[in-house]
Amino acid sequence: MAIQICLFNHKGGVSKTTTAFNLGWMLAEKGKRVLLADCDPQCNLTGMVFGFTGIDDFKGIYESDGIRNIRDALSPAFESRPVPIEAVQCEEINGRSNMFLIPGHIGLAEYEVTLGIAQELSGSLMTLQNLPGALHYLFQLTAKKYNIDYIIVDMSPSLGPINQNLLTTSDFFLVPMAPDYFSVMSVDSLASILPRWNA
């Protein structure tokens, strides 16, 4: 199984996306096969990788045939479609071999409420039991397809159910920070939140 590393801080503007990309780049430079997963509905990682400047630039990925972004890949589980989750057709990153991207999608935010309900009620409602494991399963399925060593996950600056799920199913996580007062406050906040998520 590929090792999953999440980049998380619920404070924005602390270089989560830049750190995710550069960490992936350096691991690939050392011969590791790396999968970047853009799990921020703002899609900054996807935009940065491809040099996108506006929403129209995303149409090429969103309107292509096949499963080419994170929302479409998760839709069988979250929209109760009778088909299995399939590996994403990843985008190769120009200039760096061994490095692939699962593009983000603004529609991933639509699954936030559903996942939160599933995490609370999956023990009592059969139809929700597979949702909490869908993200991790998708990543590992895609990693297997591309023979990936490391999955680097860029996360949104929030404390929502998707981030809780990503963090608690990861092998490791990093908390990028800026040298300012608000970053100190965010660490204090995380120190109380993370134990509750892990319970």
Greatest Cα pair distance in the chain: 49
What's the pLDDT tens digit per position in 63-103? 888 999 999 999 998 888 888 999 999 999 989 999 999 99
Return the CATH number at 123: 3.40.50.300
| Model pLDDT, residue 54 | 79
Helix or strand holding residue 46 (H, E): helix 44-50
| Domain, as residue range, for 73 | 3-198
| Prediction pTM value | 0.91
| Model pLDDT, residue 44 | 93
Q: Is the pLDDT of residue 33 over 80?
A: yes
What's the pLDDT tens digit per position in 158-180? 889 999 999 999 999 998 887 77
What's the pLDDT tens digit per position in 106-157? 999 999 888 888 777 655 455 555 677 899 999 999 999 999 999 999 999 9
Task: Give CA–CA dist 36/53, Å, rounded.
Answer: 20
Q: Are 100 and 36 in contact (CB under 8 A)?
A: yes
Look up residue 169 and give its two tokens. 């199913």
In total, how many domains does the chain have? 1
